[in-house]
């Protein structure tokens, strides 16, 4: 049996003795980056404020032109990101049904019954139960070891194969287009949801982010591009939803497998907006 | 460009902190990420945030502890981003797993140990890197992680137990 403490001390000494080959960057260069970023943020904040003022002005002008007509609606502020939206977002009104109503009765998904006639399913992540509506003709997974029911969705019958366990995220291979997952299955985060999201939305690869609520729970939708990795060049777009479940989060992501990226994003947005938490 | 007195003092104090803490922070970041490039990016980001809040950070008793806390948060956020990307890039039969991320070729000695540390639950891995890698005492780790010293001891105990299962073949049998 090895002396783990001793090995850890030796590994720690090795780490402290490590002398990276790259020279120490200049502190002034880092300070300059900080100053430039601060100026950019201030300029962006000014642009957003101008956009808000312009929006109010246009709305006021419209009210005056229409005489007695009363217009209602929110004033949108200009986004500071020049990139166009990747896809049209579905209506986010909670009263709007994302999935068209049909006469097919709702069928809870059981271990043996997912299929194209299923319109709704119920699942559970992080101790929180939820119901979700499926796009018409879509399939959903049944429960199996390591993969909870109602967490994988796709236009084809969903397959899920477990791979050897990794660090703190179960390794699942699947042809699903939309995935629900719990990013903290074993260790609850110490930061608040808001603190985590503040960090996430400020990552350099984030293209756009929106804070909202899903069935009353705080949620953030992030669009980003992947960073270069060993199996890909990076730069691929992705969307992830973070929904606050209290002790953990529900992540919903889209994978363009057998569908276009735009279709995958539309699907994940629709499925997320259909979520109803039952706890 | 001429610097006025206050600016000069700010730059001087920041440079002093940068030069004393950059390497230790880089080693912590390396322990958490297994990638020198990622570690350098995280440490520079931590210092950028430090400079942006310098008026506040400078007044702290221990700016190094604040920097370490920012670094842990950035590393956590990076891990979440990578996990997100992994999920977003998932393909049947072809998946970029977290195991494939790092390490760089020319890292420090016991890479098997640090790779095992990175597979621990996040708080355990942070405690190990700070305690063994950064050589902080348990109360120093607790200060950085904003938890009780007893919690740090428990995290280290859990981490050692977890590491033994991975690193010690006898423990597995």
Model confidence at A193: pLDDT above 70: yes
Average pLDDT over residues B33-48: 89
A chain contacts of residue B146, beta-carbon cutoff 8 Å = 190
> B90–A199: do the CB atoms touch at under 8 Å?
no
| Phi then psi dihedrals of residue A214, to 5 deg | -120, 115
B chain contacts of residue A27, beta-carbon cutoff 8 Å = 11, 14-15, 18-19, 47
Model confidence at A73: pLDDT above 60: no
Nearest to A9 among B40, B47, B132 (CB): B132
Higher pLDDT, B61 or A112: B61
Model confidence at A46: pLDDT above 50: yes
For residues A52 and A172, membership in a common domain is answered with no
3-class DSSP assignment, residue A42: helix
A chain contacts of residue B30, beta-carbon cutoff 8 Å = 15, 18, 20
Average pLDDT over residues A62-73: 34
For residues B60 and B113, membership in a common domain is answered with no
Number of structural domains (chain B) is 2
> A229–B146: do the CB atoms touch at under 8 Å?
no
Min mean pLDDT across A141-150, A182-191, B123-132, B137-146 is at: A182-191
d(C-alpha A140, C-alpha A180), whole Å: 11
**Test the A interface: residue of B17, B83, B88 with most A CBs within 10 Å:** B88
User: What pLDDT does A8 receive?
Assistant: 94
Nearest to B98 among A9, A24, A166 (CB): A166
For residues A76 and A125, membership in a common domain is answered with no
Closest chain A residue to the Cα of B135, Cα to Cα: A12
End-to-end CA distance of chain A: 47
ipTM of this complex prediction, to 2 decimal places: 0.82
> A240–B19: do the CB atoms touch at under 8 Å?
no
User: What pLDDT does B161 receive?
Assistant: 92
pTM to 2 decimal places: 0.53
d(C-alpha A101, C-alpha B59), whole Å: 60
User: What pLDDT does A53 receive?
Assistant: 56
For residues B122 and B84, membership in a common domain is answered with no
The radius of gyration of chain A from alpha carbons, rounded to an integer in Å, stands at 23
Q: Residue A133 CB: number of other CB atoms within 10 A?
A: 22
User: What pLDDT does B67 receive?
Assistant: 94
Instruction: Using alpha carbons only, give the angle A173, A175, A181 rounded to the nearest 5 degrees.
Output: 60
Is the CB of residue B84 less than 8 Å from the CB of residue B98? no
d(C-alpha A37, C-alpha B49), whole Å: 10
User: What pLDDT does A152 receive?
Assistant: 92
Residue A13 included in any domain:
no
Give A220's pLDDT tier (boundaries 50, 70, 90). Answer: very high
> B92–A174: do the CB atoms touch at under 8 Å?
yes
| Single residue among B64, B84, B104 that ends a domain in this structure | B104
For residues A175 and A267, membership in a common domain is answered with yes
Q: What is the tens place of the pLDDT at every residue in A228-259?
A: 654 556 677 889 999 999 888 999 988 877 78
Higher pLDDT, A49 or B21: B21
For residues A124 and A251, membership in a common domain is answered with yes
Min mean pLDDT across A214-218, B82-86, B157-161 is at: B82-86
- Domain hosting A271: range is 120-277
d(C-alpha B52, C-alpha B35), whole Å: 26
User: What pLDDT does B134 receive?
Assistant: 95
A-B contacts at Cβ under 8 angstroms: 204
**Test the B interface: residue of A1, A11, A195 with most B CBs within 10 Å:** A11
H or E element at residue B114: helix B111-118
**Test the B interface: residue of A30, A151, A184 with most B CBs within 10 Å:** A30
For residues B33 and B89, membership in a common domain is answered with yes
- Domain hosting B54: range is 1-104
CATH code at position B48: 1.10.1740
Q: What is the tens place of the pLDDT at every residue in B116-151?
A: 999 888 889 999 999 999 999 999 999 999 889 999
Model confidence at A214: pLDDT above 80: yes
> B52–A30: do the CB atoms touch at under 8 Å?
no
Is the CB of residue A155 less than 8 Å from the CB of residue A258? yes
A chain contacts of residue B88, beta-carbon cutoff 8 Å = 226, 236, 238-240, 253-255
CB burial readout A184-218, b (16+ within 10 A) else e = beebebbeebeebbebbbebeebebbeeeebbebb
> B89–A9: do the CB atoms touch at under 8 Å?
no
For residues B74 and B159, membership in a common domain is answered with no
| Single residue among B66, B83, B104 that ends a domain in this structure | B104
Average pLDDT over residues B105-113: 74
For residues A157 and A273, membership in a common domain is answered with yes
The radius of gyration of chain B from alpha carbons, rounded to an integer in Å, stands at 18
User: What pLDDT does A171 receive?
Assistant: 61
Structure tokens at B152: 């740090």
CA distance A45 to chain B (A): 16
Model confidence at A40: pLDDT above 60: yes
User: What pLDDT does A57 receive?
Assistant: 52
Structure tokens at A208: 């756009």
Residue A5 included in any domain:
no
Give B86's pLDDT tier (boundaries 50, 70, 90). Answer: low
Average pLDDT over residues B30-44: 89
Q: What is the mean pLDDT of chain A?
A: 71
Number of structural domains (chain A) is 2
Closest chain B residue to the Cα of A238, Cα to Cα: B88
Model confidence at A109: pLDDT above 60: no
Higher pLDDT, B159 or A114: B159
A chain contacts of residue B96, beta-carbon cutoff 8 Å = 229-232
Whole-number Cα distances in Å, A58 to A50, A52, A79: 12, 10, 17
> A8–B47: do the CB atoms touch at under 8 Å?
no
For residues B127 and B142, membership in a common domain is answered with yes
């Amino acid at each position: 049996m090895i002396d783990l403490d001793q090995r850890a001390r030796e590994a720690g000494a090795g780490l402290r003795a490590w002398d990276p080959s790259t020279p120490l960057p200049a502190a002034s260069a880092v300070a300059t980056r900080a100053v430039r970023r601060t100026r950019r943020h201030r300029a962006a904040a000014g642009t957003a404020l101008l956009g808000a003022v312009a929006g109010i002005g246009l709305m006021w002008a419209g009210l005056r032109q229409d005489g007695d007509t009363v217009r209602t609606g929110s004033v949108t502020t200009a986004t500071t990101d020049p990139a166009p939206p990747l896809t049209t977002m579905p209506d986010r009104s909670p009263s709007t049904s994302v999935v068209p109503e049909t006469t097919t009765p709702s069928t809870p998904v059981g271990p043996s019954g997912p299929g194209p006639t299923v319109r709704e399913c119920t699942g559970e992540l992080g101790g929180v139960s939820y119901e979700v509506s499926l796009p018409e003709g879509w399939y959903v997974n049944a429960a199996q070891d390591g993969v909870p029911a109602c967490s994988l969705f796709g236009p084809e019958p969903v397959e899920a194969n477990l791979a050897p366990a990794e660090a703190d995220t179960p390794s699942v291979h699947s042809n699903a287009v939309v995935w629900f997952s719990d990013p903290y299955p074993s260790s609850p985060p110490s930061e608040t949801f808001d603190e985590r999201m503040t960090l996430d939305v400020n990552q350099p690869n984030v293209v756009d982010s929106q804070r909202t609520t899903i069935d009353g729970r705080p949620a953030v939708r992030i669009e980003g591009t992947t960073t270069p990795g060993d199996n890909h060049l990076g730069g691929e777009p992705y969307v992830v939803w973070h929904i606050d479940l209290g002790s953990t989060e529900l992540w919903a992501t889209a994978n363009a497998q057998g569908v276009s990226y735009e279709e995958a994003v539309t699907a994940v947005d629709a499925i997320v907006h259909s979520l109803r938490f039952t706890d | 460009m001429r610097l006025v007195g206050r600016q000069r003092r700010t730059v001087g104090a920041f440079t002093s902190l940068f030069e004393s803490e950059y390497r230790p922070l880089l080693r912590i970041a390396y322990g958490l990420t297994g990638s020198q490039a990622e570690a350098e990016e995280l440490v520079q980001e931590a210092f950028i945030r430090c400079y942006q809040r310098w008026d506040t950070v400078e007044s702290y008793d221990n700016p190094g502890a604040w920097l370490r806390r920012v670094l842990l948060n950035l590393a956590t956020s990076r891990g979440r981003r990578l996990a997100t990307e992994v999920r977003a890039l998932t393909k049947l039969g072809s998946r970029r797993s977290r195991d494939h991320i790092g390490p760089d070729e020319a890292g420090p000695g016991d890479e098997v140990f640090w790779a095992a540390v990175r597979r621990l639950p996040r708080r355990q891995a942070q405690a190990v890197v700070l305690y063994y890698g950064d050589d902080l005492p348990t109360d120093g780790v607790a200060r950085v992680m904003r938890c009780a010293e007893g919690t740090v001891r428990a995290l280290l105990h859990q981490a050692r137990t977890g590491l033994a299962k991975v690193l010690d073949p006898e423990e597995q049998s």
